[in-house]
Structure 1
Amino acid sequence: MRGVRRVALGMAFSFFMLSLGLVYWQVVQADTLLENPANRRLILMENRVNRGGIFDRNGEILAQNQTSNGKKVRVYPKGEMYEPLLGYSSVKYGSSGLEGSTADWLLGVRNATPTQTVQQLFALPRQGNDVVLTLDSRLQTIAYNALKGKMGAAVAIDPQTGKVLAMVSQPSFDPTSLEENWANINSRVQERPFENRAFSLFPPGSVMKVVTSAALFRSGINTTDLYESTGSAIINGQTINEQNGKAFGWVNYNMALANSSNAYFATFGVQAGDKNFLSAVKGFGFGQKIPFELDVRMSSITKADKLPAKLTTNLLAASTFGQGEVLVTPFHMALIAAGIANHGVIMTPHLVERVLDPTQTVIFEPKPQPWLTALSKEEADKITSAMVTAVTDGTAAPGALPNVQVAGKTGSAEPGGDVPTHGWYIAFAPAEAPRIAVAVMVENGGTGGGAAAPIARQIMQEALSQKVGDKL
């Protein structure tokens, strides 16, 4: 009898553990599983669920289900313009991008309405929700056309709300007839069309100097003092060259940022010390996960540690002007520009403007939320002033707009090896009351002023040309 009891207790315990497992995966982890693009249940559900549409902020269709020859198909009227950000939804290949991350909304399983819940319970056909994005097709079109034929990314953000207004990655792909064209798209190995370069890591070059600026301010260095730029500087046995070996003469902080003096920022960055530098980069979000609807790779200071406790003198010197081992995403640089524009506060970025149920009732609408306070208002004002000087009398001049004060910064980042530099440009406008912040990176494009600034200028010009109250 004792043996029978042990067997019975063992079976009861096994059933109990199995029940706990089912509760954990079906209840506790239900939303996590549903949000995972690898979950094929979401894809298979589409046999009986009409996936909702995806729209830009002005109602333009970006993705929508249609019926062709009695078969439900997903259509993308804008072609490759929104890829790979928008992603795809395929029974054969799963889902990616926003099609994957917002699938629970689009299929009506997240915060389902009572009607959707009943339909889901009895496996009845039903209509999913529509997702309206913060993106503006007018800006997206400008950015896409300007970047077409190059490799790189362009991101535009509303600095006051964190709304992403445009995001382009090139080269991209056309999601139309994805399954038929899958092999062809994958064969473009050098172009990496499925990679969203806005979320990829690159050395930032001199756009990093706006971050280093905070370390200089907090160290007590007098930024009005003059420094003689002679074309190079030797720090701890390491030669720091100005771009093209150019000597800028006597410069203060404003002119050093405007002319993009590597020697100035390396010299005073080392003087400020690694503690001030690392504190500054942490304040801007390095080594931290960016809260966002999509996965963004974490920006880092060193290969061994994304946010180390200390830096050697030589690595600190190189890091101050965005070389060494520093890596950052174009998306993060857009947030950094937006934070300076917003008096030092980086808002939590978001792509979903609102979600509408099948009756077009709003069931989700995020509110603007701060993410980080990277700078004090006084610090942000100092950097803004120097960025304005960079546009009016420095390397950032190619990003200037008529009758508008633009704050900008160029960067030419050496990726290593015998290849051209990555061209960077970050900016916001109008400088005194910013409505848009942008970051553009052209992979192996050369100088930031030559390759990236003209693209940023076109995006800002389009944004500021919209009438007041015209939704932008």
Structure 2
Amino acid sequence: MGMVLCFFVLSLGLVYWQVVQNNVMLKNPANPRLALMERRIKRGGIFDRNGVVLAESKVESGKSVRVYPNGGVYEPLLGYATLQHGQAGLEDALSGWLLGMKNPTLSQELKQFFQVPRQGDDVVLTLDAKIQQAAYDGLQGKKGAAVAVDPRTGQILALASQPSFDPNSLDKNWKEISRPGSTDLLNNALSLFTPGSVMKLVTSKALFSGGIDTSKLFDDKGTTVINGQVIPDENTSGNGWINYNLALAYSSNVYFATQTVKAGQDNFLAAAKAYGFGQTIPFPLPVPDSQITNKAAVPTHLSINQLAASAFGQGQVLVTPLHMALITAAVADHGVMMRPYLVDRVLDSRQNVLYKAQPKPWLTPLSPADAGKITTAMVTTVNQGTAAAVALPNVQVAAKTGSAQPGGNVTTNAWFVAFAPADNPQIAVAVLVEHGGAGGVASAPIAKAMIKVALAENL
């Protein structure tokens, strides 16, 4: 009986590791099968939307070596693929295609069966090399992230994070790159941050749903007290008599906190949920869910103090730069948030198309009318408010700034979101500079550079 039990347990272990955990075992650098596969299969290339090489395999000194012509520009998004340290980033997420093992052709299956050397598939991304370079250059020397999306399709045009690393020397510099406290491998575009005033794009929906008269004037004296909690504006001397339009343009915390409490927690929480808070963003890489509170991403109840602070993106609210770019894109696309995607198409070694992405809506957080109200206010924010630094000649930009207190005695995180042209958007961006101070100062120039490149390319 004991022998039978041992055999049964051993069988379960074999099934678990060879079937359930097959991908984990395959990607483990200690797995000799991985080394054999990488020697036998020439890993496919990764390209930007216009054919710019982002990653390719070359034979050097009789060995296949993964080469990244742009150094750290696309890191940590691209990740790496080495026998010594395994795979990460898109090199990991797309390895099925790159090794020709996902939906293989008959030729690939035969070569796999007979263990014949073969070629993996090429992956063409939606990224635009020029927009990505503008984002990377703008973030140099800073910590943060910049994301650009085509609001009409959901295509990710740029996704930059700093600090980054040079994947060409990963094995050589692994100890430095992975040292304790290092964030070189962390993708800030897919990490959670306090949003500050860019959250007011989400809160706006709560005001509309709650029946707040957005044309009515409100006396903003610079500070207010809600349930014993002092709510200050950045301009503590006050913004005077303002309506919703000017409240967004001047980034009035007093207005948004007061009016959100009037609109009620149900409308605010419904707005957050409609925009995708508490939902997993469909994306090839893991993205943490944006949240309103630490206990529940979208709770059923908020205290008055939590509600007031959350209205202008403080309290326990956290969001990723990727999600913030999608929120901005939803406003640009008349209330529709398209499903974000990075892979445009996959080609076999003969350049036959094996896969072609099709744009799909993901959420519809706003009506076209409500999206129009927010757009008008974001245009006012550029023309006479806090986002003047992003203004472009002959092109109307819509934007919103944010300065978020991340907690502790540190400089605020600088946020900036924008889209352009305001009446026919081709690009939406979200930029975060950690501890950068004011969004209109630290992050706006990066957003402006990305938008200028996109409009020059006439996407």
Aligned residue number for residue 94 of structure 2: 102
Mapped to 2, the partners of 1:214 and 1:188 lie a distance apart of 42
Maintained 8 Å contact 2:34/2:83: no
| Correspondence for 1:176 | 168
Alignment of structure 1 residues 24-39 onto 2, 5 Å: none
Matches within 5 A, 1:25-424: 40=31, 41-42=33-34, 44-187=36-179, 189=181, 192-424=183-415
| Counterpart residue number, 2:420 | 429
CA contact (8 A) 1:43 1:90 kept: no
The amino acid that maps onto 1:398 is A
Question: Does the CA contact (< 8 Å) of 1:44 and 1:91 recur in 2?
Answer: no
Residue 193 of structure 1 deviates from its aligned partner by 0.8
Distance 1:378 1:395 in 2: 24
The AA in structure 1 aligned to 2:331 is I
Aligned AA for 2:359?
A: P
Distance 1:35 1:302 in 2: 37
Q: Deviations over 1:264-291 (max 9, x none)?
A: 0000001111110000000001111000
Question: What secondary structure is seen at the aligned counterpart in 1 of 2:115?
Answer: coil
Task: Report the CA distance between 1:189 and its aligned residue.
Answer: 2.9
SS in 1 for 2:57: strand
Q: Partner residue of 1:463?
A: 454
Q: 1:93 to 1:20 in 2, by over 3 A?
A: closer
What SS does structure 2 have at the residue aligned with 1:123? coil
Q: CA deviation at 1:33?
A: 5.6
> C-alpha displacement at 1:44, in angstroms?
4.6
Distance 1:403 1:236 in 2: 46
Q: Secondary structure in 2 aligned to 1:245?
A: coil
Aligned position for 1:3: none
Tell me how far 1:20 sits from its aligned partner.
12
Does the 8 Å CA contact 1:37/1:100 hold for their aligned counterparts?
Answer: no
For residue 177 of structure 1, report the CA deviation from its aligned partner: 2.2
Amino acid at match of 1:140: Q
Whole-Å separation in 1 of the counterparts to 2:35 and 2:359:
31
Residue 399 of structure 1 contacts residue 456 of structure 1 at CA under 8 Å; is this kept in 2?
yes
| CA gap 1:204/1:351 in 2 versus in 1, 3 angstroms | same
C-alpha distance in 2, partners of 1:43/1:200?
32
- What CA distance in whole angstroms lies between the structure 2 residues aligned with 1:262 and 1:38? 51
Question: Residues 20, 186 of structure 1: CA spacing in aligned structure 2 closer, same or farther, 3 A cutoff?
Answer: closer
Q: Tell me, in whole angstroms, the C-alpha distance in 2 between the residues paired with 1:387 and 1:39.
A: 53
> How far apart, in 2, do the equivalents of 1:432 and 1:35 lie?
49
Structure 2: how far apart are the matches of 1:43 and 1:216? 57
Q: Deviations over 1:28-69 (max 9, x none)?
A: 886x66997889555651021100010111111110011111
In terms of mean alpha carbon deviation, does 365-374 or 34-43 score higher?
34-43
- Unaligned runs of 5+ residues in structure 2 are none
Alpha-carbon distance between aligned partners in 1 of 2:177 and 2:346, rounded to the nearest angstrom: 31
1:165-204 superposed Cα distances (whole Å, 9 cap, x missing partner): 01110110001121111112223835x1110000111100
Q: Verify the 8 A CA contact 1:36 1:101 in the aligned structure 2.
A: no
CA deviation after TM superposition for structure 1 residue 399, in Å: 1.1
Provide, for residues 400-436 of structure 1, a one-character-per-residue CA deviation record: whole Å limited to 9, x for no partner: 1111111100000001111100000000000111000
TM-aligned CA deviation for residue 299 of structure 1 = 0.7
| Number of aligned residues | 458
Change (3 A) 1:289 1:36: farther
Aligned to 1:83, the other structure's residue is in SS state coil
Mapped partners of 2:263, 2:418: distance in 1: 26
TM-score norm. by structure 2 comes to 0.95
Output the CA distance in 2 between the equivalents of 1:406 and 1:292: 28
Deviation at 1:246, TM superposition (A): 3.3
- Please state whether the residue corresponding to 1:409 is helix, strand or coil: strand
Q: In structure 1, what residue type is equivalent to 2:217?
A: L
Say if 2:256 and 2:312, in contact at 8 Å, map to a contact too.
yes
Instruction: Give me the whole-angstrom Cα distance separating, in 1, the residues matched to 2:270 and 2:12.
Output: 48
User: Would the alpha carbon gap of residues 137 and 290 (structure 1) be closer, same or farther in structure 2, given more than 3 Å must change?
Assistant: same
Task: Provide the C-alpha distance between the structure 2 equivalents of 1:73 and 1:297, rounded to a whole number of angstroms.
Answer: 33
The one-character-per-residue Cα deviations of 1:225-277 (angstroms, maximum 9, x if unpaired) are 11100010111111100014131000000000000000000000011111100
One-letter code aligned to 1:376 = S
Question: Structure 2 counterpart of 1:466, which letter?
Answer: E
Q: 1:160·1:435 contact (CA, 8 Å) conserved in 2?
A: yes
Q: Is the 8 A contact 1:202 1:328 kept in 2?
A: yes
- Deviation digits for residues 343-400 of structure 1, max 9, x if unmatched? 1111110110100011110101110011111111111111111001100110011111
Q: 1:374 to 1:148 in 2, by over 3 A?
A: same
- The root-mean-square deviation of aligned C-alpha atoms, in Å, is 2.2
Q: What's the secondary structure of 1:138's corresponding residue?
A: helix
Gaps of 5+ in 1: 1-5
Residue 355 to residue 29, structure 1, CA distance change in 2 (3 Å): farther
Quickly say closer, same or farther: Cα 1:20–1:370, change in 2 above 3 A.
farther
Q: Is the 8 A contact 1:35 1:104 kept in 2?
A: no
- The letter for the 2-side match of 1:237 is G
Residues 433-470 of structure 1: per-residue CA shift (max 9 Å, x gap): 10000000000000000000111011001100114xxx
After superposition, the Cα gap between the structure-2 partners of 1:416 and 1:199, relative to the gap in structure 1 and judged at 3 Å, is same
Q: CA deviation at 1:122?
A: 1.7
Q: Is the 8 A contact 1:43 1:89 kept in 2?
A: no
Deviation for aligned residue 1:215: 0.3
The 2-side partners of 1:269 and 1:42 are apart by 55
Aligned partner of residue 62 in structure 1, secondary structure: strand
